[in-house]
Amino acid sequence: MKLMQRLMAWFPQWMRADYPLVRYELASSQRSTAGNGRRLRVFGMLVSITLLLWAGYVIATGIFQHEPGHNLSESLRAILFWPVLIVQVAAQIGVLVLTVSMVSEQQRRQSWDDLRSTEGGAGLAMRVRWAVVLFYRLRWLLVVIYTARVLMILGLFYDLTAFQGHYLDLLLNGVTPAVTPVAGVLLLVLLLTASLLLPLTSLGLDAAAGLLLATLVQRRTYSVLAQIVMVIIRLLMVILLVIGATQVVAGQSGLDNVQNWLLLAAFGAMGDWSLSFLHLSFTGSLWFAVPYSLLLGPVLLVFALLQAGLVDMLLAFAVRRAERAG
């Protein structure tokens, strides 16, 4: 909690837990989960995480037929991939559901007209909802997502010590384009940075898009339909990208090098948010098999930064729409 409070100190005032509108939003979401309900929710979350990890272990071992991997980092990736992917998809769905319904929810509470009649009230309410959904209501999903990434990055650093510290040199041997070990380290750092930014920028973009859609679709019935359509689109996109990337890794995609590169980039950007690329031997095999895949790191980092800029633009547009919406 102290760490969270320190992080919040860097946030604008309207994003902090002591801000009146933030307190109101949090109180509204917690009324039905006070006391025993809240403890049951925490217990259910712990049970869900345990079951997901158990399912990940079962999948990684082929239903206990073999070891999950040849070494610690490979085992870690094999066990964590599916549970974390499920959590990431759940976070995406949660962000969409909690933001698309914003206007219809306020209208149901009969507070939307009051917000609109206050100068800047509707816009501020939109920004606060964005912050509350992303950093408060889904914070435990973010904790799971980033804990898994930290563990895999630690495993990656451990792998770098193999072969007397020359493991990265071996992975770079024969790749296209040929780079020096120093350049290889820099490209790897950019890939790690992208993998840490993508969950936050992607969820932030989904939240901003959901709020924008909330200003366009205000009736409750249409809002529910919009949520269903967006969830289905999101699920299909992730499923198709995971299947496509799996085929590329297996050499069964039937695509040329350029198409394989684009598919891997889309998978890293919008599929698993570069989670798979945190396994060094997996990523090294892609560097060798797909020309110029070594450049995925800077490309994904630029994509994350563009997403961050787009979040601000969409949120500003949603705020303007909210202040004019009827």
DSSP assignments along 160-195, one per residue: HTHHHHTHHHHHHTT-SS---HHHHHHHHHHHHHHH
- Tell me: the pLDDT tens digits for 223-246? 788 888 888 998 999 999 999 999
Using one digit for the tens of pLDDT, what is the confidence trace for 285-303?
A: 999 999 999 999 999 999 9
The first and second tokens of residue 18, run together, are 């002591």
Share of the chain above pLDDT 70, in %: 91
DSSP assignment of 69-126 equals -SSHHHHHHHHHHHHHHHHHHHHHHHHHHHHHTHHHHHHHTT-HHHHHHSTTHHHHHH
Q: Which of 111-115, 123-127, 290-294 has the lowest mean pLDDT?
A: 111-115
What is the rounded average pLDDT for all residues in the chain? Answer: 87
Query: Could you give the CA distance from residue 305 to residue 302 in angstroms, rounded to a whole number?
Result: 5
- Range ranked top by mean pLDDT from 21-25, 163-167, 187-191: 187-191
| Amino acid letter, 127 | R
Q: How confident is the model at residue 149 (pLDDT cuts 50, 70, 90)?
A: very high
- pTM of the predicted structure, to 2 decimals: 0.90
Over residues 244-284, the pLDDT tens digits come to 999 998 888 889 999 999 999 999 999 999 999 999 999 99
Residue 255: CB atoms within 10 Å: 15
